[in-house]
Amino acid sequence: MASVYNGTRVMAEANDIVNGSKVASYSGSRPQMLAAGATTVEGVDAVADDSIITGGSSEGPSDGGWLEGPTSEVCAEVVRNLLGISRVIESSLSPSRGPIGTNFTMNAVIENLNDTLGDILSTDIQEVTARVYSFGNRTLVDTMELTDDNHDGNYTGYFIGLENGEYVMDIEVEDSNSTLEVVRDTESFDVGIEPITPIDVVLISTIIGGGIIIIVLVVALIRKK
């Protein structure tokens, strides 16, 4: 679902559509968005959070109105979403679990999509951010900037696990068109949680078999007496 300018207010007042989503901040719908459970994002003209795509009004005079609204940016994100492509090509996290104090390394391959959507979208990647949330209630735990030191599209960042728990990580990509793409739950990891040891079927069978043999021997001895 996509909307821009005053249309975002209609989206905010629709039943539970934006709850838990990030949306572009627009003064005409900001109170309704917050009341509906959305998180408004300042400093960008358009936000694409999964299938929820919103645009403000570029914050011009009187918020600019539709004449200054980021209509083309929202339309480009609609096309991208319909094609099922993302600026985040792939990601990885290492290790996937560790004790408190473990330094986790996040890697992501980011594409500006100019080769794919060049006719309607031509941008550069401005900023890549990873956000760590607790699993389940999605409470924000930490934020890290991912950097591309070699300018080859490979972005890296680091996170130190300070509390026991299960976590998920989102990646957010802002481009030079003032559009923010939110890619949810790209990676998951555990801090201080020991893996559950699978039941060793062979060991259990051996123990049971040994127990049966002992019982048979005991019974045999009793009969001899």
Given a cut of 80, whether residue 187 has pLDDT beyond it is yes
What are the distances in angstroms from CA 211 to CA 198, 201, 221?
22, 15, 15
76: number of Cβ within 10 Å:
23
pLDDT of residue 65: 52
Query: Could you tell me the two tokens for 213?
Result: 């043999």
Average pLDDT score over the chain:
86
Per-residue CA distances from 155 to 109, 141, 174, 177 (Å): 6, 21, 13, 20
Would you place residue 62 in the very low, low, confident or very high pLDDT band (cuts 50, 70, 90)?
A: very low
In 3D, which of 89, 131, 81 has the Cα closest to residue 110?
89
Q: What is the pLDDT of residue 209?
A: 58
**Is 72 a residue whose pLDDT tops 90?**
no
What does the block give as tokens for 75? Answer: 């339309």
- For the residues 142-154, what does the mean pLDDT come to? 96
User: How far is CA 127 from each of CA 91, 118, 124, 135, 177, rounded to the nearest angstrom?
Assistant: 16, 20, 9, 25, 12
Q: Which residues contact 173 (CB under 8 A, 6 or more apart)?
A: 87, 88, 110, 125, 127, 128, 129, 180, 181, 183
Cβ atoms of residues 177 and 123 within 8 Å: yes
Instruction: Give the three-class secondary structure for 93.
Output: strand
3-state helix, strand, coil in the chain (%, to 5): 25, 35, 40
pTM above 0.85, yes or no: no
* Interval 73-120: pLDDT, tens: 999 999 999 999 999 999 999 999 999 999 999 999 999 999 888 877
Domains of the chain in start order, with CATH, are 1-84 (3.40.50.880), 87-197 (2.60.40.1930)
